[in-house]
């Protein structure tokens, strides 16, 4: 009788509350539950029916399926699609467990950190793949194998097509590799990562079609008795035939958009531009800038990265560029003989093992250390660093004395100089800029901000120097790099340049202003007729000079319409020459 009364008197809600309160302590929770059959039932009840679970999953289909699966098993389940909403739900209600897909590891870290700060007794668990749980391991594995097979097929197809133009071999694969890495770091959904990878493989298909025409001409010559027609197709034809579950057509059609809204065909701006375009475009430009299609690489990898940084916020998405630079810069610093290790002189009283110095060394910078203006000047004269980063408060003197020496008495008065100080007084900041500082950073400075601001300052400083193209121009052969490729690169980067072409002793010129073709001239023609003539020149030498203004503007058509008409006339000219 006594045992019966004891069992009847315990309060289930209090028991659950006590159970949750000690589950993270070194207390055996079995001691909280009555013994016997009733205790066994109560244990199951607590562990299942009263165990509240919060699912954090961004994918609607997977989230709904996981919710129904756990609900059917008797769990008390809630589901949120973003981490901020999940955190608010956790604050408002009691949960024992949060389930987060492993693909969103940053969400799990965020939730775990917030729970720790708020002192909530909640477990955070990551699942390798909700989709695997729902579909079953065999079906999920089959889907993954199909995706891998499709990617391998696309990779093989592009390498085969690139083989008709050797300078392009490997271009699509490298762009796809970097684009995939960027998409993963941006924590995009797995389907989006795969779609962007496929788009990156296919982004040069229209250009490859144009490159294939000479080989088709040989086929026509061999089978002259047959009526053959060159297979004309559009990006839309190709993407619709693929039926891939990602907006490939939209991505491929907007590759020429600019982040500032000055691109084409629709003048989309910022995040209105499809994410695939924002990722692929700067990578494609980077690979084109370093490709060995002229007498040598048109730019070193370091110079090409600097150019991406300078175009960040205007031509390209700054968030994407920051990730790309991080990936490529790490690869550069891990390679042998990298040219992207600027030497920085940091002047402060924090010693050589300061966290900010360690972070910069991890990113590949060579960091020198000094503690006074005097020792800073000695290392400036002896080691010739690329940039100085100085605190205001030094053990002897201050950073303004060093800044004044650099600007007025050193052999490099224009060298980049950044102030990094714990002083956030607007008067000090204004004084630093009046004295000639290039930037002012807080101390301590978040690593991402530090790297981004220094990279921008370095790129700006390098941009102020005369570039290789401005000093002597870039020369090359039209057999290696055609007029169309030159215009595409300059147009995508919104560059101003003059292209001078020598074809068997005949000279012609094409000028671009901020990426738009505005001028063309040959010995016999001017304007659009001259441009159409130059497009037919497949042999000869070219010389490219950047930032050269044309004597006048004699072309008003948009680039895409001009090129389209040029290709039509070129094809017509080829047909007439074979008749």
SS3 506: strand
Q: Are residues 317 and 186 in the same domain?
A: yes
Per-residue pLDDT at 51 = 66
Report the distance separating Cα 343 and Cα 412, nearest Å.
Answer: 15
Report the distance separating Cα 465 and Cα 148, nearest Å.
Answer: 46
Q: Are residues 235 and 119 in the same domain?
A: no
Q: What is the pLDDT of residues 474-498, one digit of tens each?
A: 677 787 677 887 787 777 667 788 8
> Is residue 338 one of the residues assigned to a domain?
no
Instruction: Write out the residue range of the structural domain in which residue 536 sits.
Output: 468-578
Query: Do 405 and 377 form a contact (C-beta atoms < 8 A)?
Result: yes
Q: Are residues 292 and 149 in the same domain?
A: yes
**Residue 371, C-beta contacts closer than 8 angstroms, at least 6 positions apart:** 347, 348, 349, 351, 394, 395, 396
Q: What is the pLDDT of residues 218-250, one digit of tens each?
A: 555 555 666 666 566 666 777 777 777 778 888
Per-residue pLDDT at 337 = 41
Alpha helices in 335-482 (DSSP H): 355-362, 373-383, 399-408, 426-435, 447-464, 468-472
CATH of the domain at 421: 3.40.50.2300
Q: Are residues 146 and 285 in the same domain?
A: yes
> Is residue 337 one of the residues assigned to a domain?
no
Q: Are residues 202 and 347 in the same domain?
A: no
**Single pTM value for the model:** 0.47
> Is residue 98 one of the residues assigned to a domain?
yes
Which residue do the tokens 């009788």 mark?
Answer: 1
Q: Are residues 107 and 161 in the same domain?
A: no
Q: Are residues 90 and 203 in the same domain?
A: no
Q: List the beta bridge partners of residue 421.
A: 442
Cα 61–Cα 65–Cα 70 angle in degrees, nearest 5: 150
> Is residue 96 one of the residues assigned to a domain?
yes
> Is residue 541 one of the residues assigned to a domain?
yes
How would you classify the pairing of strands 439-442 and 387-390? unpaired
Report the distance separating Cα 255 and Cα 533, nearest Å.
Answer: 27
* Domain finish residue from 86, 116, 134: 134
SS3 270: helix
CATH of the domain at 34: 3.40.50
Q: Are residues 441 and 513 in the same domain?
A: no
* Domain finish residue from 69, 102, 134: 134
Q: Are residues 434 and 499 in the same domain?
A: no
* Domain finish residue from 83, 113, 134: 134
Q: How far is CA 286 from CA 200, 282, 304, in A?
A: 13, 6, 6
Q: Are residues 326 and 382 in the same domain?
A: no
Is residue 407 classed exposed, middle or buried when 0-12, 13-18 and 19+ CB atoms within 10 A define those classes? middle
Give the count of domains, the chain. 4
Per-residue pLDDT at 175 = 92
Q: Are residues 128 and 188 in the same domain?
A: no
The DSSP output letter for 467 is P
Q: Are residues 280 and 154 in the same domain?
A: yes
Q: What is the pLDDT of residues 527-573, one digit of tens each?
A: 999 999 898 888 888 888 777 777 788 998 888 788 888 878 877 77
What are the tokens at 248?
Answer: 């490939």
Tell how far CA 374 is from the center of its chain: 41
**Which residues in the chain land under pLDDT 50?**
1-13, 15-17, 19-20, 22-25, 27, 29-30, 32-50, 135-137, 293-297, 336-339, 465-472
Number of residues written out for the chain: 579
- Please provide residue 475's backbone torsions phi and psi, each rounded to the nearest 5 degrees: -110, 155
In terms of Cα–Cα distance, which of 336, 334, 328, 320 is closest to 302? 328
> Is residue 193 one of the residues assigned to a domain?
yes
């Amino acid at each position: 009788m006594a045992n019966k009364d004891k069992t009847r008197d315990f309060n289930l809600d209090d028991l659950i509350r006590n159970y949750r309160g000690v589950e993270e302590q070194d207390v055996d929770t079995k001691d909280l539950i009555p013994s016997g059959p009733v205790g066994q039932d109560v244990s199951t009840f607590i562990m299942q029916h009263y165990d509240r679970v919060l699912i954090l999953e961004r994918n609607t289909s997977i989230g709904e399926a996981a919710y129904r699966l756990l609900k059917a098993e008797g769990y008390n389940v809630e589901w949120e699609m973003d981490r901020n909403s999940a955190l608010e739900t956790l604050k408002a209600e009691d949960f024992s467990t949060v389930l987060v897909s492993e693909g969103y590891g940053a969400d799990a870290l965020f939730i775990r950190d917030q729970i720790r700060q708020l002192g909530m007794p909640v477990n955070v668990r990551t699942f390798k793949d909700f989709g695997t749980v729902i579909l079953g391991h065999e079906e999920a594995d089959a889907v993954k194998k199909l995706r891998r097979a499709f990617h391998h097929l696309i990779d093989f197809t592009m390498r085969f097509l690139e083989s008709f133009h050797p300078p392009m071999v490997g271009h699509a694969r490298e762009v796809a590799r970097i684009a995939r890495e960027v998409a993963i770091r941006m924590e995009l959904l797995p389907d989006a990562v795969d779609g962007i990878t496929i788009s990156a493989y296919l982004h040069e298909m229209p250009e490859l079609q144009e490159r294939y025409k000479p080989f088709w001409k040989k086929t026509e010559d061999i089978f002259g008795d047959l009526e053959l027609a060159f297979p004309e197709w559009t990006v839309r034809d190709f993407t619709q035939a693929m039926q891939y579950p990602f907006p490939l057509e939209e991505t491929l059609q907007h590759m020429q958009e600019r982040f500032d809204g000055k691109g084409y065909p629709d003048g989309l701006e910022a995040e209105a531009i499809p994410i695939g375009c924002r990722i692929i475009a700067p990578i494609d430009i980077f690979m084109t800038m370093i490709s060995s299609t002229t007498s040598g690489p048109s730019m070193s990898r370091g110079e090409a990265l600097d150019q991406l940084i300078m175009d960040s916020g205007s031509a390209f998405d700054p968030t994407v560029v920051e990730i790309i630079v991080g990936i490529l810069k790490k690869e550069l610093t891990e390679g042998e003989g990298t040219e992207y290790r600027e030497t920085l002189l940091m002047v402060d009283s924090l010693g050589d093992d300061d966290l900010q110095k360690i972070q910069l060394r991890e990113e590949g910078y060579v960091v020198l250390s000094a503690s006074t203006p005097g020792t800073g000047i000695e290392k400036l004269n002896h080691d010739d660093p690329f940039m100085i980063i100085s605190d205001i408060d030094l053990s002897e003197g201050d950073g303004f004395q060093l800044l004044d020496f650099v600007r007025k008495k050193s052999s490099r008065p224009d060298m980049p100089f950044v102030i990094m100080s714990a002083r956030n007084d607007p008067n000090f900041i204004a004084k630093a800029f009046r004295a000639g500082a290039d930037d002012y950073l807080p101390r301590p400075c978040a690593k991402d901000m530090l790297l981004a601001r220094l990279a921008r300052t370095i790129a700006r400083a390098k941009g102020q120097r005369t570039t290789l193209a401005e000093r002597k121009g870039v020369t090359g052969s039209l057999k290696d790099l055609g007029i169309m490729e030159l215009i595409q690169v300059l147009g995508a980067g919104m560059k101003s340049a003059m292209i001078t072409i020598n074809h068997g002793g005949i000279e012609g010129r094409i000028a671009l202003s901020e990426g738009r073709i505005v001028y063309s001239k040959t010995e016999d023609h001017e304007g659009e007729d001259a441009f159409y003539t130059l497009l037919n020149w497949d042999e000869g030498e070219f010389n490219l000079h950047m930032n050269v203004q044309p004597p006048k503007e004699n072309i008003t058509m948009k680039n895409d319409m001009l090129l389209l008409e040029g290709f039509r006339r070129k094809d017509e000219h080829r047909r007439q020459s074979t008749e």
